[in-house]
Amino acid sequence: MLSKEEVKHILALSSLEADDEEFEVLQRRLSQMEEFVSQIKNADVDEDVSVEDAVDMNTLREDEPKESYPVEKILANAPKQKYGAFAVPLMMEDD
């Protein structure tokens, strides 16, 4: 399990803060992630698989043009619309 100091360091690097309850959850989840990454690092990847084998496993259908749904039907459930498209909140502003 990651130590409290390691988790505090990660929080500082991320410019984040956590109360005691959040800290414990974060410590547990980060430790789980660390364990998962460790498992990936130790995975046996010595098996020789060629690129051709991988391509053969992913046979895709032919790309065929089809009729699209009407814009009105797609936008019918949109909370907000603008200029015939979904309207979403501004996430970043120009400086």
| Ordered structural domains, the chain, with CATH | 4-41 (1.10.20)
How does DSSP classify residue 83?
T
Question: What pLDDT score does 38 carry?
Answer: 92
Distance CA 2, CA 35 (A): 10
Contact in structure between 2 and 34 (CB atoms under 8 Å): yes
Question: What pLDDT score does 19 carry?
Answer: 94
Alpha-helix runs per DSSP H in 42-84: 51-57, 71-75
Q: What is the pLDDT along the chain (95 residues), one digit of tens a residue?
A: 899 999 999 999 999 999 999 999 999 999 999 999 999 988 877 776 666 665 555 577 888 999 998 989 999 989 999 998 999 988 877 76
